[in-house]
Structures are given as C-alpha cells and as structure tokens.
Amino acid sequence: MYVSKYNLFIDLGEYPDLSIIQNIFHGQSTVVPKSLADYLKNAAPSGDLSDLPDAMLSLLKKKGFIYDVKKDEDKQIETIYSQFRKTLPKANPSRQYQLILTYDCNLRCIYCFQKKIRKTTDNAVISETQLKDIFDIILTKERANEEEIKQKELPTRVPLISIAGGEPLLDTPESKKTISNIIHFAKQNNFHYSITTNGVFLDKYIPIFKSAGYYPRDIQVTIDGTKEYHDRRRIGVGGAGSFDSIVQSIDSILEEGMHISLRINVDEMNTSSINKIADYILAKQWTGYDEFSAYLAPVTDHSSVNKNYKWLKQDAGLIREIMRMFAERPELESIFTMKNFRGFQYVKRIVEKKEKAVPTIWRCEAVLGQLVFDPQGDLYTCFEGAGNESARIGTYSPSYEIDAQRDREWKSLNAIENKYCRRCSYRFVCSGGCPWHIVGQQATECLPVEEEIRLAWNYYAPRVLGSLA
C-alpha cells in the first residue's frame, strides 16, 4: 500500500484521543482516533498496513488517504491538472489586466517594495498614446478569449482591469484624466475595474466615478493599525501622517455605496494594535455597510528590498499571535477575513463550506497570463515585479513584443510544473510559492503552511467535531 504523502496528521490539543487527517492534495479531511493516525503516520515509509482490517483499508482508500501504489496518486494529480487547464481560454486565462499608472507616490511607507524603482524611473504617468495601445491589446486578447469560450463552451467570467501604482489616484489633472479614460473604456466594454490606492486623495475621485456612472468593483485601501501606528509607518512625502485623510475617504466612499476592501498590514511591529483597530472599525460602524470588508494581511517582501526592516517574519509567529487574539475575542473573526494566510484560510473554507478543499494550482494571476502595463511602455505579469528588468516579459509601446521564453517561464511556475516545488507536500496549498520571488531570486519563499493548518484545525476543532464527513 502507499500512504499519501499529502496526508497531514494533526493532533488536537483539547481532544488528546482524536486526530484529524487532512489530505492537502484533494482536500479531504476526517476525524479519526489518534491511534489510527499514529499508525498510518508510522506505516507511511514502508506502506505496510497489514494490521488494518479490509473494511478500514477500503474506507481509507475511498477517501484517498491511501492508494494501492503511488502511481495511482500521480495519475489523479495529472488528471486534475489537465481538467483544470481545459477550462481556461488561452489568450489570457486570468482575464486580468493591471495598469500601473505611475511609479510616483505621495507616501513613503517604511517597508515599500517599490522604493528602489522610484529612484530609477521618472514620475511619468501612462500617456494617452500608451493608453490607446493598452486598450487595443486588451480588446484583441478578449476577442480571442470570447471566441474560444463560445466554441468550447468554457466557463466565463468578466474581464477585470485593475488600476494600481505607485499611487494611481494622485491629486493631479493628468491622473484624473487617465482614470476617467480607463473607466469609460471599462464601461463601454462591460469590464469590471478595481483600484488599489493608499486612499489619501480617494475622495477627490468620487465626482469622476459618479459622472461616469460606473463604479469600481472594489477599492482596496490599506491602513497599518490605529492612527498612532499607521502615521509612523505610512508617511507623506513631507513627513505628515496619512491616517486622517484615508479615514475621511473611506467614510465618503461607503456613503456613496462603493465597495471598500480595507487591508490591514500586520507584522511583528503592530500586531498588538489589531484589537484597537477592531474597536475603531466598530466605532465607525463600517461593518454596517454591505460594501465594506476588512482583512489582515502579513507584510511581505517578495522583492527583497527591505532587508533592514526587522519586523517581517517568514515563520508562523504572526498567525500564532492572531489565533490567540481570535480565541480571546471571537468577534475579531467576523470583522477580519484572513485570505492572505493561506494555510488558515484553507481550513476555514473547509469548515465554513462543509466540503473538501480544491487544490490550488496557480498561486496568482501572474502565472495565468495576466498582463501588467507600466508607464515605461514595459510589460510584466506580476505587479510587484514591475520595474525590475528580471521580471519584464516584453513591451507594449511603441510596439507589442513578448519574450516567449520569459513568458513561458512565468507560466510554468504553477504547483505542478514548478521544478523547485515538485517534491513538496504543501504545494497544493502554497501553490509553488511566490513566482516573482523565484524569478528574482532563484529560490522559493516557503510559507508556514503546515503550522497554519495545524493551528487552524485546533482553533476550529471545538466548532466542527463530529460534523466532518
């Protein structure tokens, strides 16, 4: 017999006689006596399960925790990969287009991953000619996508234009005109658009959204905790804090009925402010708006430009601390989602949806053909890599040229083809790590997926025990 290498055997602190087996390829999970979990774990290297009765063997086989031979599991992985691929149109499977309007920004955040790029590029904003080139490329790609979707009857979704920077919503006539043009293009073609902004001048753009009569699907704004923490970390060019103007923008946007995703950047410096920011959100009554959501996100440095910023940690210390806070104050879980903590989110979805998890093959849009356009006329596939020569996949202005080899390299960095992660048992949750980290540094950036899953199951165990399939 072969015991799946994707089985994770999780001891439950509060229930010493029980364990959970979580298969992190196909997503099946089940509660078993700890003695059975220990037996399977110990038997995994030899595959000798001769002490188990036939009925138990066939149950474990049915759930995909064991196979006759390893090849059966490999075949299942291949089948799922090819099924997933068949559902995607080829021209741009992600159906996403990101526009970096400018590398310029009105803030100087202490951990900014673009600080080097700002020094080496000018403050240009994407020009009208460039914008026209971008729109032509998007329309060509989307016509090809639509054709294929129709022919093969593939699942469809609305293309998304995401607007980012630097800071895309600067208080300049040039930025306002560019945003207005993009909104009209999105409206004309029935595409969604979203904006990632620091929020300082966001409320000055409300008249533009209103006069276009076409609201963004989502506006992502970031704060770093309460005013006290935030103003020390997200600082204006002249040294002033940015908290008050961001909050004012959020109030106005919610009043207009537009969607705000409030990202709260957390690292070891500001974890202690999570409770206070929750109090603040409740006092502002933002959670009363259907169009409001907030999430905790670990500060990351995929570009490795913040080597001296000591608060970033790759281990599970951050999630451990957050879990402790959730256990102490359960309402925090209803205020903040945790989508960027992949291991935790994986278990949460199983618990909430009451169904097995789906393997994640593609970590992000960067490996699915997303196109990122910058003001230098260059093309990328990852927003965070933009501005770096090693991440560039081509140009779009003055001419559209793609470096096929680089493009292929990015697309191969999925959980199946990624040579760095082929042997890893966590690859269907971590999904091969951040591709930009691999391209830029020829190394993986392994996440603490295993510990997050263990912590999450221990957190949810009292809620779900007995109800698992």
**Residue showing tokens 């899953």:** 453
At its nearest, how many Å lie between ligand SF4 and the CB of residue 284?
Answer: 30
Contact residues: ligand SF4, CB under 6 A: 302, 363-364, 366, 382-385, 420-421, 424, 426-427, 430, 432-436, 444, 446-447, 449
Q: Tell me the two tokens of residue 40.
A: 């399977």
8 Cβ contact partners less than 8 Å away, ≥ 6 residues apart: 21, 22, 23, 24, 425, 450, 453, 454
Instruction: Output 159 or 433, the one with its CB closest to ligand SF4.
Output: 433
Instruction: Output 406 or 427, the one with its CB closest to ligand SF4.
Output: 427
Instruction: Output 377 or 432, the one with its CB closest to ligand SF4.
Output: 432
Q: Tell me the two tokens of residue 180.
A: 């207005």
Q: Is residue 205 classed as helix, strand or coil in its secondary structure?
A: helix
Are 232 and 242 within 8 A, CB to CB? Answer: no
Instruction: Output 285 or 314, the one with its CB closest to ligand SF4.
Output: 314
At its nearest, how many Å lie between ligand SF4 and the CB of residue 78?
Answer: 18
At its nearest, how many Å lie between ligand SF4 and the CB of residue 221?
Answer: 18
Instruction: Output 111 or 436, the one with its CB closest to ligand SF4.
Output: 436
Element (H, E) at 138: helix 128-152
At its nearest, how many Å lie between ligand SF4 and the CB of residue 256?
Answer: 29
At its nearest, how many Å lie between ligand SF4 and the CB of residue 318?
Answer: 17
Instruction: Output 220 or 273, the one with its CB closest to ligand SF4.
Output: 220
Instruction: Output 353 or 423, the one with its CB closest to ligand SF4.
Output: 423
Are 278 and 291 within 8 A, CB to CB? Answer: no
How far apart are alpha carbons 159 and 268 in whole angstroms?
37
Are 461 and 389 within 8 A, CB to CB? Answer: no
Q: Is residue 30 classed as helix, strand or coil in its secondary structure?
A: strand
DSSP tag of 356: P
Of 382, 359, 378, whose CA–CA distance to 438 is shortest?
382
Minimal CB distance residue for ligand SF4: 433
Catalogue the E-assigned strands of 224-332: 260-266, 292-298
At its nearest, how many Å lie between ligand SF4 and the CB of residue 432?
Answer: 5
How far apart are alpha carbons 454 and 6 in whole angstroms?
14
At its nearest, how many Å lie between ligand SF4 and the CB of residue 243?
Answer: 26
Query: What order do you get walking across the sheet with 29-33 strand by strand?
Result: 7-11, 18-23, 29-33
Instruction: Output 84 or 280, the one with its CB closest to ligand SF4.
Output: 84
At its nearest, how many Å lie between ligand SF4 and the CB of residue 425?
Answer: 8
